[in-house]
Structure formats: structure tokens, C-alpha cells
Amino acid sequence: LKPFWVKFCGPALRASSRAPPRAAPPRPLARVPGPGDAMARAGPDRYGKLGDQAFGKMEKVNSDLLALTYGSLVTQLLRDVEDVDAVNAQLEKMGYNIGLRVVDEFLAKSGAGPCQDFRDTCEVLAKVGLRMFLGVAADVVMWNRELTACSLVFPDNPLADYVELPQHLSNRLWYSNLLCGVVRGALEQLQLRVECSFQKDTLNGDEHNMIRVELKEVMREDYGEDD
């Protein structure tokens, strides 16, 4: 699997105490759906194939190394920070800084074109983005009526292989909260401000992992007077 934090986590950890890097110019891959939108979009099968092709272009390392590297990171944070809520926040912040940086690689290697709307964007995220960088794909379910919030469901999580949470951390530590930050940071680079949170985790005894993604704002680029 592609250990994206091996490449990005060092800079992200150092940047976690600083202001996040300035967002790149907008990449208008998505917009909020409006009345009468033709929901013509590529089918899940096509996105699945696209994700497999993109995954094939990525560097690979042993999945055991992936799990052990991330486990060491979480363990060190628990020792240094102690407060579980603060660890959850720190993991999310680190993931956010990673997400800001992976978008260019995604655009260069995924082969994904412009998305129709936020719904389409989430399908690409689940079937192509997660497949590229984590090695697994997710199902997009539980849309709200406005099509601005959904859940990403995935049974397998390579970050959590060989992990068993002690009882005092169960249902308190969101072990893979880094992923929520990655999603938030990546979508922000695409001018989509979202809130992202774990709702279910197999480490807490749930049947599958579930991340809730909610669109809060389609951001507009501020242009200078000379633009």
C-alpha cells in the first residue's frame, strides 16, 4: 500500500503548530447541485476501474509497515499529549495538512475529470481517492435530502491492522482520525469546505468503518484588484 504519511507526515507534523499553508488556486471540480440538474454521472463501476488503474500507478510498500508506522505515530501522540480528545484533534490536523498536499498528485495520476456536483465528488473520493492512497474503496451512502452530506463506509482499514484498543480508549480514541483530516484538507484545496468525522470504527466493535462528510461552503477565490 501507499504510505502517504511516510512522504507527507513529517512536514505535516512540523506544520501542525503553524498556520496551514495558503490554499492553491481553485480547481472547480464540484458545485452544489441545483434544481433541474441532470444527474448524469459515471457509474460506480467506471469509478472503481479508474481507482484500480490509479492505484496501479502508485508506489507500494508492505501493508504491515503501513500499519506499524501509523501505530507508532498514534502511540507517540498518546504519550506526549495524554488527553484523548486532544489526540483526536491532533490526528485530524495532521491529516488536514497531508490532504492539502496530496491533491496535486491525485489530479496528476487519477485520470479523474471534472465532477458534476458534490455527490459526484464524493463518489470520486470514495472510489478513486481512497483507493489510490489507502488501497481500499468506500461506498457512499446515507445522503441527506439536499445532497450536501453523506457517509463513506468501508469494512477494511489498513491503518488499523493488528490494532486492539484498550478498554479505557474504546469509543473515545478515533484511531484513524487522520483520514478525516486528509479528506477535509483535500476538499478544501478544491474550494469545498467540509466537516468530516468518524461515526463508526471496527476498533470499537462496529461492523464497518464510517466517516460522515458534510459540505459547509463552496468557497470562492479572492482575486486581487489587478486580476
Task: Render pLDDT for 83-124 as a digit per residue (tens, 0 to 9).
Answer: 999 999 999 999 999 999 999 988 888 777 788 899 999 999
Residue 180: the pLDDT is: 98
25 grid coordinates: 488556486
Domains of the chain: 8-13+44-218 (3.30.1380.20)
- Residues 217 and 220: their CA atoms lie apart, in Å, by 9
In this prediction, the residues of the chain whose per-residue pLDDT falls under 50 are 1-42
Residue 109: the pLDDT is: 83
Q: Is 100 left (phi over 0), alpha (psi -120 to 50) or beta?
A: alpha
Residue 177: the pLDDT is: 98
- Residues 186 and 27: their CA atoms lie apart, in Å, by 11
- pTM here is 0.78
Residue 133: the pLDDT is: 86
Q: How far is CA 69 from CA 55, 58, 182, in A?
A: 20, 18, 17
